[in-house]
Amino acid sequence: MPLDLLLLAVPLFAAGAAAGLLRALSLREPPGTRRRRALTAAWILALLLGVPLWLVAAAVLKLW
């Protein structure tokens, strides 16, 4: 059971960490630049798409 929970939680934390990294990078850019807008969109998409896709994959793999 703990291994299953670990297999489920680690990718979720990784998706959150990646989104946080993208968010931090976007805040370093000057406001209104194309790169900042792209990084902002990327961190939002990382959370909106990455987490649900992983949960579906985990269900298909029967991790929970």
Alpha-helical runs (H) found in the chain? 2-28, 34-45, 51-60
pLDDT digit string (tens) for 41-52?
A: 999 999 999 989
pLDDT digit string (tens) for 3-25?
A: 878 888 898 899 999 999 999 99
pTM: 0.80
Q: Which residues fall within 8 angstroms of residue 43, CB to CB, at 6 or more apart?
A: 19, 20, 22, 23, 26
Q: Is 19:43 a contact under the CB 8 Å cutoff?
A: yes
Distance from C-alpha of 29 to C-alpha of 10, rounded to nearest angstrom: 29
Q: Average pLDDT for residues 18-47, to the nearest whole number?
A: 94
Q: Please report the pLDDT score of residue 1 as a whole number.
A: 64
